[in-house]
Amino acid sequence: METFADLLDNLAKRYAWAKKIKRNMIKNEWYKIVGIPIASHTTVISFENGCLTIGVDSSTWMTELSYLKSDIMAKINSFLKDAGRVNKIVFRKIN
């Protein structure tokens, strides 16, 4: 007989919930993925079709992050594993 946990696991696999949940976890785990110094000046705005949009609190940090873009992308893709892939990062100035 199938347990409730097995049923949920099968449903998650069938509807790709696990991947969707992992992609949504980027916002919750942001400080762990990029580190506290970067996370304290940024926020995840959206992640759609491989494009991650990140809000940045200052022009200085936008410049710094532009140099770190490939490193940030690698960290995020490592976090996502098979749940998706970031192909592009867009930085937006926020207040």
Q: Using 50, 70 and 90 to split pLDDT, how confident is the model at 43?
A: very high
Q: What is the mean predicted confidence (pLDDT) over 71-82?
A: 92
Q: Which of 81, 83, 78 is nearest to 21 (CA)?
A: 83
Taking the domains of the chain in order of start, what are their residue ranges?
4-93
What is the model's pLDDT at position 48?
87
What is the model's pLDDT at position 15?
65
Domain 4-93 has CATH 3.30.70: yes
24 has pLDDT over 90: no
Q: Using 50, 70 and 90 to split pLDDT, how confident is the model at 45?
A: very high
Q: Is the pTM of this model over 0.85?
A: no
17 has pLDDT over 70: no
Q: What is the mean predicted confidence (pLDDT) over 53-68?
A: 96
